[in-house]
Amino acid sequence: MLINPNVIRIIRQNLNWIIIALFFFLFGIFLAAFALGNEKFFLTELTKSQQDLLAEMAEMIFAGPPLKGIAILFLNNLLVSLQMMIFGFFLGITPLIGLFTNGALLGSIIAGLEYQGASTLVFLSLGVLPHGIFELPAFIISAAFGLKLGFHLIFPLPQKKRGESFRYIWREFISVLPLIICLFLIAAIVEITLTPLLLKWAFPTTLS
């Protein structure tokens, strides 16, 4: 079996937290893309810095050789996932904000494509799905453990003290970390090598 049975067990045991994390991510997408219409309020400013950072990173990633781009993207995603987990120590606020803002960023892109008359379905299918099926699960799982950590530092696990709860959850995260690393690595390879070709084929005018 490619995935350690212990990892599968841990993921199953934390499925509720993964669902909660996914909910906040999807909520960010929904709010930015559909619920607020043209009245984005705070979301415009909330995602603007992310969009600027994304543009800078895209320039840095795609300006050099593919291997360099893959390495930069992989390390960035891994660092973000580790921050989501570690900073969950602060009552789970950091992973909660990270889930929502990343969802809102994707929702803003969707809304922008709709405004330009581009096909959202094509963008999601070719521009997000090929690497997203690897990247998003890794991102969501990391955030889920960050949320769990923040919650159980307030309300310790049954029959455990706060310190014991922290060590238990951290060991869980370390157990699934190899899977997260593999998912991010595959996602980076696909995003650098395949996704640009698919997007250029689907949106030749927009990307020219």
Query: Positive or negative CA dihedral for 158, 162, 167, 169?
Result: positive
Specify the range with the lowest mean pLDDT, choosing from 23-37, 67-81, 165-179: 23-37
CA separation for the pair 42, 97 (Å, rounded): 13
**Given the structure tokens 């300006």, which residue do they identify?**
63
- Would you state the pLDDT for residue 52? 67
Most confident region among 28-32, 116-120, 134-138 by mean pLDDT: 134-138
**Is the separation of the CB atoms in 138 and 180 below 8 Å?**
yes
pLDDT tens for residues 63-99? 778 898 899 999 999 998 999 888 888 878 889 988 9
25-42: average pLDDT: 71
CA atoms within 13 A on the CB side of 42: 3
pLDDT tens for residues 42-72? 455 555 666 666 667 777 777 778 898 899 9
The model's pTM is 0.85
How far, in Å, are 4, 17, 133, 158 from residue 1 at the CA level? 7, 25, 20, 32
Of 145, 207, 140, whose CA–CA distance to 173 is shortest? 145
